[in-house]
């Protein structure tokens, strides 16, 4: 074996090693960014309609509420051990969190109750500390179910006591979750609701029954700040060549309110 062959082989090994280190650095940077800055999520259900639609791709910011094991990329599932730089959400924030029933699942809801708040639903209207959230009729909307079916729904603009306004849907009067006992939110917990009030397993429903119950703040992943993309899943039943028309371009890179 000549010295030239040895040099060539050594150069190849060095090149592979450099490429491997570069790839490892990219993977590490992605994991750090997903753990510390923001992480994308996909919306699979209609519980947050009309704010979020089935098929939306969300970007959740990690820094507003501090960091804990729940902030790690969703592929990493470790027991919660508390948070650093902890921040409390504001009423009206749309949050992504690890579902208390299975922390490998990410869910998204709207915060309406903070620690110490008294929360109750009365005839479909939200009461916070015995004060009703204002409701203004806003015409009709459509609520899509997980199978692509659509149901007409009443649309309202709800305004929370801190002035945050957002749209909600009500498909029926006297829904099963329209009247609830008053609940005082304990320390370290949040009360969350879906904007599609008749199709959301949220804090009105205990974890044992498939809901969220009172959400531990330590389960927060981040704040849903933007929709970065959206595709109408109903297009799956259409011919492949029509699928491009399913992209909801108007929703790309829009803020979540």
C-alpha to C-alpha distance for 124 and 174, rounded to whole angstroms: 7
Active site residue 47: yes
Per the residue annotation, which of 34, 62, 71, 109 is the catalytic one?
109
Considering only the C-alpha atoms of the chain, give the largest distance between any 2 of them, rounded to a whole number of Å: 88
Active-site residue (options: 45, 47, 200, 203): 47
With a CB cutoff of 8 Å and minimum separation 6, the contacts of 51 are 94, 110, 166, 167, 195, 256, 257
Q: Provide the Cα torsion 238, 244, 247, 252; round to 10°.
A: 170
Active site annotation includes 165: no
Q: Using CA atoms, how far apart are residues 83 and 72, in angstroms rounded to an integer? A: 12
Distance CA 207, CA 184 (A): 17
The phi, psi pair for 174, rounded to 5°, reads 55, 45
Question: Catalytic residues, which ones?
Answer: 47, 109
């Amino acid at each position: 074996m000549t010295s030239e062959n040895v040099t060539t082989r050594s150069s190849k090994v060095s090149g592979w090693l450099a490429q491997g280190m570069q790839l490892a650095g990219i993977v590490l940077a992605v994991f750090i960014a997903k753990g510390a800055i923001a992480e994308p999520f996909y919306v699979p259900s209609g519980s947050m309609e009309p704010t979020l639609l089935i098929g939306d791709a969300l970007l959740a910011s990690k820094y507003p509420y501090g960091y804990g094991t729940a902030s790690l990329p969703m592929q990493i599932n470790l027991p919660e051990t508390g948070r650093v730089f902890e921040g409390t959400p504001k009423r009206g924030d749309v949050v992504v969190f690890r579902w208390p029933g299975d922390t490998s699942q990410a869910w998204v809801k709207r915060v309406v109750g903070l620690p110490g708040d008294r929360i109750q639903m009365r005839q479909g209207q939200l009461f916070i500390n015995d004060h009703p959230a204002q409701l203004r009729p806003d015409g009709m909307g459509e609520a899509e179910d997980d199978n692509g079916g659509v149901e007409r729904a009443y649309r309202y603009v709800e305004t929370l006591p801190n002035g945050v306004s957002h749209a909600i849907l009500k498909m029926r009067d006297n829904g099963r979750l329209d009247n609830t006992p008053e609940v005082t939110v304990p320390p370290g917990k949040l009360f969350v609701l879906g904007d599609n009030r008749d199709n959301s397993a949220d804090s009105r429903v205990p974890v044992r029954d498939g809901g969220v119950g009172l959400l531990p703040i330590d389960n927060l992943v981040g704040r849903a700040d933007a929709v970065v993309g959206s595709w109408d899943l109903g297009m799956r039943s259409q011919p492949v060549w029509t699928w491009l028309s399913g992209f909801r371009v108007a929703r790309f890179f829009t803020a979540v309110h």
